[in-house]
């Protein structure tokens, strides 16, 4: 069953704790992305990776970190430096780096209490 798996679907953390969101894909896509979505808002780009062992900051990278050690995996860590981490996080992939359809996971809803 091909696709993008984000886990967990819901995540609760205490303020001040780091938390890592998982994104795994078996589509053999080179490019992977992380977006943040707040209620009633659009998608804001956090980080993206066009190839293994390389990634770039998006528009709102502060307080987040990523790694791309394997083509299939692009985990996102929400650090304690992120001032308002409660949000819906979406992982996406695309076949090419640019100009191609994006495929999205089902998202992880993070709530920090």
Partner 1 sequence: GENVEQHPSTLSVQEGDSAVIKCTYSDSASNYFPWYKQELGKGPQLIIDIRSNVGEKKDQRIAVTLNKTAKHFSLHITETQPEDSAVYFCAAPLHMRFGAGTRLTVKP
Q: What single DSSP character describes residue 16?
A: T
- Residue 18 vs 111, nearer CB to partner 1: 111
DSSP states of 26-88:
-S--SEEEEEEE-TT--EEEEEEEEETTEEEE-SS-TTEEE--SBTTB--EEE-TT-S---EE
Shortest distance in whole angstroms from residue 37 CB to partner 1: 9
Query: With CB under 8 A, what is the number of residues at the site for partner 1?
Result: 23
Q: Looking at 92, 93, 110, 112, which residue binds partner 1 (CB under 8 A)?
A: 92
Nearest to 64 by CA among 44, 80, 49, 43: 80
**Does residue 87 interact with partner 1 by CB under 8 A?**
no
Q: Give the alpha-carbon dihedral of 113, 90, 36, 34, to 10 degrees.
A: 120
Site string for partner 1, 26-55 (x = CB under 8 A): -------x-x----xxxx-x--x-------
- Residue 15 vs 101, nearer CB to partner 1: 101
Binding site for partner 1 (CB under 8 A): 4, 33, 35, 40-43, 45, 48, 58-59, 90, 92, 94, 98-102, 104-107
């Amino acid at each position: 069953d091909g696709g993008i798996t984000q886990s967990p679907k819901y995540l609760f953390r205490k303020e001040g704790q780091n938390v890592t969101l998982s994104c795994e894909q078996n589509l053999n896509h080179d490019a992977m992305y992380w977006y943040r979505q707040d209620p009633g808002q659009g998608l804001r780009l956090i980080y993206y990776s066009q190839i293994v062992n390389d990634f770039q900051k998006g528009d709102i990278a502060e307080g987040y970190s990523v790694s791309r050690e394997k083509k299939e995996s692009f985990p996102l860590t929400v650090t304690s430096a992120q001032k308002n981490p409660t949000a819906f996080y979406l992982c996406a992939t695309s076949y090419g780096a640019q100009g191609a359809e994006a495929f999205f996971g089902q998202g992880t809803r993070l709530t920090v209490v």
